[in-house]
């Protein structure tokens, strides 16, 4: 972890008093899976390479935003590990003064290769944490959820590769969180088994409510309260955990005889926007104030138009000032619900 701080930098605070210190960066909209809640079955039209921010451009923006109060960075996609050179990019990102933590969210299939590449470059612990998406432990359901060929399992790809990477991360001492999206008609019977991955190992398993983005709008979520009831029936009473795990909004619980923790991210049924601390940078250079925002600041245009750092910083500050009080995924915040056409692959959810 990089502990260098930029001296005397006041925090970024939006108009609702929230400290904005967390940046999620989508380095690509491409992915090696076609998960039913993220991408359409036919895939999407990829951005040309020139339409995506270069690693150098992202590093410049991160340096500017670190000088404004950003302290934690999450690298996402699409699937971030399909982009060539991402290990070297993350290594440079970790050296930026002011950036205290760099983590990644991945489907895990290429994670072993990422660890190997980082080790070859001398990085024993290449990231400060890994979030791995895992919605089922059953090979057939995995193929259905991810729309991948079942013969991938014969070649050791897909689910086996994810489980190997999970063990490798633990060996390297990298904190691991497993993210599961409960879907009616897809993985109800898997939820207790996925939770059990935190039984003997100190890792977090989180259940994330489906957000109605893009193709996910046609699927039926399983609310967090219902998942919690399933787990209590299987393992006993969920005990609230008062400590803090990571930078996100999950509420964590302990279960009897579990070494790890169980988390719930109930963005739709409960909401937690009052404590939101993040901005999102798309692979195309659009800085967004919220997952549900349809607009943002085009930082790529400013970068390639020769804007100085001061102008880029001013654009970021203006966006923070426009950050909305909440998302509009549900009636929790009493706002008009919007049909969001962009999927998670585009936004870097």
Q: How many CB atoms lie under 10 A from the CB of residue 275?
A: 8
Burial (0-12, 13-18, 19+ Cβ within 10 Å), 219? middle
- Hey, where are the domains in the chain? 12-347
User: Hey, is 80 helix, strand or coil?
Assistant: helix
Asked if 26 contacts 286 with a C-beta cutoff of 8 angstroms, the reply is no
pTM attached to this predicted model: 0.89
3-state secondary structure of 66: helix
Q: In angstroms, rounded to a whole number, what is the distance separating the alpha carbons of residues 331 and 122?
A: 49
Helix axes 86-93, 111-120, angle to 10 degrees: 60
What whole-number distance in Å separates Cα of residue 52 and Cα of residue 154? 35
Alpha carbon distance 5, 290 (integer Å): 26
The pLDDT profile of the chain, 349 residues, written as one tens digit per residue, is: 555 556 567 899 999 999 999 999 999 999 988 899 988 777 777 778 899 999 999 999 999 999 999 999 999 999 999 999 999 999 999 999 999 999 999 999 999 999 999 998 887 789 999 999 999 999 889 989 998 876 555 455 788 899 999 999 999 999 999 999 999 999 999 999 999 999 999 999 999 999 877 777 778 999 999 999 999 999 999 999 988 887 778 899 999 999 999 999 998 887 678 889 999 999 999 999 987 787 799 999 999 999 999 999 999 999 999 998 876 665 544 544 444 445 555 555 5
First to last CA, the chain: 23
- Tell me which CATH code domain 12-347 carries: 3.20.20.70
Residues near 203 by Cβ (< 8 Å), separated by ≥ 6? 170, 175, 176, 177, 178, 197, 260
Beta pairing class for 278-281 and 286-288: antiparallel
């Amino acid at each position: 972890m990089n502990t260098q701080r930029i001296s005397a930098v006041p925090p970024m605070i939006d108009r609702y008093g929230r400290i904005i210190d967390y940046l999620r960066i989508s380095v690509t909209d491409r992915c090696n899976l076609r998960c039913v809640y993220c991408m359409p079955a036919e895939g999407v039209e990829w951005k040309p390479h020139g339409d995506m921010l270069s690693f150098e451009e992202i590093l410049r923006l991160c340096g500017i935003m670190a000088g404004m109060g950003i302290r934690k960075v999450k690298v996402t996609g699409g699937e971030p590990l399909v982009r060539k050179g991402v290990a070297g990019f993350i290594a440079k990102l970790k050296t930026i003064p002011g950036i205290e933590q760099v983590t990644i969210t991945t489907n895990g299939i290429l994670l072993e290769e990422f660890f190997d590449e980082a080790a070859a470059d001398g990085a024993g612990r290449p990231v400060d944490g890994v979030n791995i998406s895992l919605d089922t432990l059953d090979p057939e359901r995995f193929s259905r959820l991810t729309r991948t060929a079942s013969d991938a399992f014969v070649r050791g790809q897909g689910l086996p590769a994810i489980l190997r990477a999970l063990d490798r991360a633990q060996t390297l001492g990298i904190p691991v969180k497993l993210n599961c999206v409960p879907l009616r008609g897809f993985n109800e019977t898997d939820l207790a088994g996925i939770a059990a991955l935190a039984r003997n190992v100190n890792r977090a398993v989180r259940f994330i409510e489906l957000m109605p983005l893009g193709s996910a709008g046609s699927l039926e979520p399983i609310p967090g309260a219902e998942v919690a009831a399933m787990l209590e029936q299987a393992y006993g009473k969920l005990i609230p955990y008062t400590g803090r795990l990571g930078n996100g909004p999950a509420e964590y619980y302990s279960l009897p005889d579990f070494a790890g923790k169980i988390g719930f991210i109930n963005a739709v049924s409960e909401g937690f926007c009052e404590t939101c601390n993040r901005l999102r940078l798309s692979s195309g250079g659009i800085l967004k104030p919220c997952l549900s925002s349809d607009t943002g600041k085009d930082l790529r245009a400013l970068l390639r138009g020769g804007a100085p750092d001061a102008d880029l910083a001013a654009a970021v500050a203006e966006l923070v000032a426009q950050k909305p009080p909440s998302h509009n995924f549900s009636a929790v915040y009493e706002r008009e619900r919007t049909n969001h056409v962009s999927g998670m692959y585009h936004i870097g959810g």
